[in-house]
Amino acid sequence: EDQVTQSPEALRLQEGESSSLNCSYTVSGLRGLFWYRQDPGKGPEFLFTLYSAGEEKEKERLKATLTKKESFLHITAPKPEDSATYLCAVQARGFQKLVFGTGTRLLVSP
C-alpha cells in the first residue's frame, strides 16, 4: 500500500532560521511527488512536482529535493508569510490519485 509520512508534525522557527521538512514515502512505482502549501481555511496550493531521484526544484526561499525514499523541503531564511501547513503527496504509475501525508505545520515568528 502506498504511504506518505511527514515530519515533524509542527515546526516553529525564528525569522531567518533555515530548516528542512521531511517526506518519507513508499510507493509501487513513483510517477511523481508533489508539494503543496495550505493556509488556514484555504485549499492546498501547488508548489512543486518532482519525478526522479536527484531532481531539485526551487521557488523563492523554498527548495525541494528527491531521493528514492524521501523528499525534503528546505526553507532558507524564512519569513512570517511562509507560515502554513506543507503537504507532501505521491502519485503511483498508472494511477491518477494522490496519496497525501498529514502535513507539517510551520510557524515563523518575527
Q: Does 40 bind another protein (CB under 8 A)?
A: no
Angle ∠(7,8,13) on CA atoms, nearest 5? 135
* Binder of another protein out of 19, 22, 24, 31 (CB under 8 A): 31
Q: Where are the alpha helices (DSSP H) in 8-103?
A: none
* Binder of another protein out of 3, 102, 107, 109 (CB under 8 A): 102
User: Among the candidate windows 14-22, 58-66, 71-79, 86-94, which touches another protein by CB under 8 A?
Assistant: 86-94
* Binder of another protein out of 98, 104, 106, 108 (CB under 8 A): 98
Q: Which residues bind another protein (CB under 8 A)?
A: 31-32, 34, 36, 41-46, 49, 87, 89, 91, 96-98, 100-103
